[in-house]
Amino acid sequence: MEGFGTKILFEIPILGGIPLTETVVNTWIIMAILTIFAVFATRRFDKIPRGIQNVVEAIVDVINKFTAQTMGEDKKGFSAYMGTLFLFLLLANLFGLFGLRPPTADLNTTFALAIMTFLIIHTNGVRRKGAKKYLKGFLEPFPAMLPLNIIGELALPISLAFRLFGNIIGGVIIVGLLYGGLASLSGMLGITFIPVLQAAIPVVFHLYFDLFAGVLQTFIFVMLSMVFISMAMD
Amino acid sequence: MEGITGRDLILAASAIGAGLAAIAGIGPGIGQGYAAGKGAEGVGRQPEAQGEIIRTMLLGQAVAETTGIYGLIIALILLFANPLA
């Protein structure tokens, strides 16, 4: 029963060997892509945009507008975090299209992101409302609800992380099973040197599980982060 | 029935349990379908608010999906990271 976990690609030979999984390496690739894009796209900005500057301005504009629309005009400053989250998750979820393992198919990645959102929710809740009013919020509607409220708050990052992880890993497993099944089918038919069956049939599944579900889950994660943060601050 | 160890039994029961956990998919299926139906109704009544309706619908569906995802996670844990076996 092996095959859908993250593989360890290589080890850093210090401190008794630090294992590096596919997730870490793919996250590095995404970081490199985003960093290089950011550096090169923002090199020379003109008053009149042309070329890649148009694209960058459009992206920033859309994210700013979307954040202001969802969270309210006064919380527009979150668009930096939301934009980063959006771009990272978008690239990460679409990684399955290139035959690589999406970093979000690892619970560590999704939990890290969910905990970031969780911390932002609570620090901003305290900052905006003041500690007293914030703590009082846990006793509402009546003090006996305290344990339930705490569990409810703790369930938030768990559900956020598992939602993304479950959707992506589900896609990874189904597409992986499909490739395995098609490989053994073409083996039965005696087509071994050219993977004819694997070439065309999985396209539909990639379209749904990687493209559609990936973009949708990115949107959902960012949207829910926005909604929860603005709910905690109002 | 000779030669069935306790481990085999646990694995077989885990496979059945994983299948049962997938039944959790019924709930989100009904919920999401209901939300989509209401969304379609809303668009039919107010076509100009389509963008807003779709966004709200997707958000609600994502929250409704959570229980189904929990079922999937339990099935995956039973199959690939079984704590019992």
Can you give A138-207 as a three-state secondary structure string?
A: HHCCCHHHHHHHHHHHHHHHHHHHHHHHHHHHHHHHHHHHHHHHHHHHHHHHCCCCCCHHHHHCHHHHHH
- With a cut of 60, say whether residue A2 has pLDDT above it: no
Average the pLDDT over A173-187 and give the result. 86
Q: What is the pLDDT of residue B39?
A: 94
Is residue A18 helix, strand or coil? Answer: strand
Residue A106 phi/psi, 5-degree rounding, is -130, 130
Instruction: Give the nearest chain B residue to A170 (CA atoms).
Output: B72
Q: Name residues whose C-beta falls within 8 Å of residue A83's C-beta, 6 or more positions apart in sequence.
A: A59, A60, A63, A67
Q: Count CB-CB contacts under 10 A for residue B36.
A: 15
Instruction: Report the share of chain A in percent with pLDDT over 70.
Output: 99
- Please indicate if any CB of chain B lies within 8 Å of the CB of A25: no
Return the pLDDT at A73: 85
Q: What is the pLDDT of residue A1?
A: 35
Q: What is the mean pLDDT of residues A134-161?
A: 88
Mean pLDDT, range A132-154, rounded to an integer: 87
pLDDT confidence of A72, banded at 50, 70, 90? confident
Task: Give the model's pLDDT for residue B1.
Answer: 65
Contacts of B63 in chain A (CB under 8 A): 224
Give the pLDDT confidence score for residue A90 in this predicted structure: 93
| 8 Å CB contact of B70 and A162 | yes
Task: Give the separation between CA A4 and CA A181, rounded to whole angstroms.
Answer: 15
Question: Could A220 and B79 be called an inter-chain contact, meaning their C-beta atoms sit closer than 8 Å?
Answer: no
The 10 Å Cβ neighbour count of residue A82 is 22
Q: Which residues of B touch A65 (CB under 8 A)?
A: none
- For B5-56, the pLDDT digits (tens) are 888 888 899 999 999 998 998 999 999 999 999 999 999 999 999 988 988 8
Report the pLDDT averaged over residues A178-193: 82
CB contact under 8 A, A216 and B79: no
Confidence of residue A3 (pLDDT cuts 50, 70, 90): low
H-helix or E-strand spanning residue A8: strand A8-12
| pLDDT of A84 above 60 | yes
ipTM above 0.90, yes or no: no
Task: Please answer yes or no on whether B65 and A216 come within 8 Å at the CB atom.
Answer: no
pLDDT at B79: 86
Q: Note the pTM of the prediction, 2 decimals.
A: 0.86
Looking at every residue in chain A, the average pLDDT score rounds to 87
A47-65 average pLDDT score: 86
Nearest to A69 by CA among B29, B26, B1, B51: B51
CA gap A45, A187 in Å, rounded: 56
Range with top average pLDDT, A47-51, A138-142, A167-171: A167-171
A14-18, A23-27, B5-9, B52-56: segment of lowest average pLDDT: A14-18
Compute the average pLDDT of residues A107-125.
92
Q: B37 versus B81: which is more confidently predicted?
A: B37
> In the Cβ-directed half-sphere of B7, how many Cα atoms lie within 13 Å?
3
* Average pLDDT of span A202-213: 88
